[in-house]
């Protein structure tokens, strides 16, 4: 069975914080996995357009893994 794994890079403004799966990033940041996914959405970017200290995430890559 194959499944897709997405990797994220999380930043506070321009400062790199952590990179990994949503599970790894959420654990490191102490937030929910769904919150990591939201950080990578355009809605999150628009919400903080004039701020330099907000959290944001970028999808770095997606890979298919076979189990």
Structural domain boundaries enclosing 31: 8-61
| pLDDT given at position 13 | 84
Domain presence at residue 16 = yes
Domain presence at residue 3 = no
Give residue-wise pLDDT tens across range 18-47: 999 999 999 999 999 999 999 999 888 777
What's the pTM value of the predicted model, to 2 decimals? 0.79
Mean pLDDT of 49-66: 78
Strand ranges across the sheet with 15-21? 15-21, 2-12, 55-66
Mean of pLDDT over the chain = 86
In angstroms, rounded to a whole number, what is the distance separating the alpha carbons of residues 65 and 14? 31
In angstroms, rounded to a whole number, what is the distance separating the alpha carbons of residues 25 and 2? 22
For the chain, what is the domain count?
Answer: 1
């Amino acid at each position: 069975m194959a499944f897709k794994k997405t990797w994220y890079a999380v930043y506070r403004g321009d400062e790199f914080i952590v990179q990994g799966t949503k599970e790894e990033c959420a654990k490191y940041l102490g937030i929910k996995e769904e919150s990591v996914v939201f950080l990578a959405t355009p809605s999150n970017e628009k919400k903080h357009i004039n701020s330099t200290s907000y959290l944001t995430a970028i999808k770095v890559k997606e890979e298919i893994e076979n189990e």
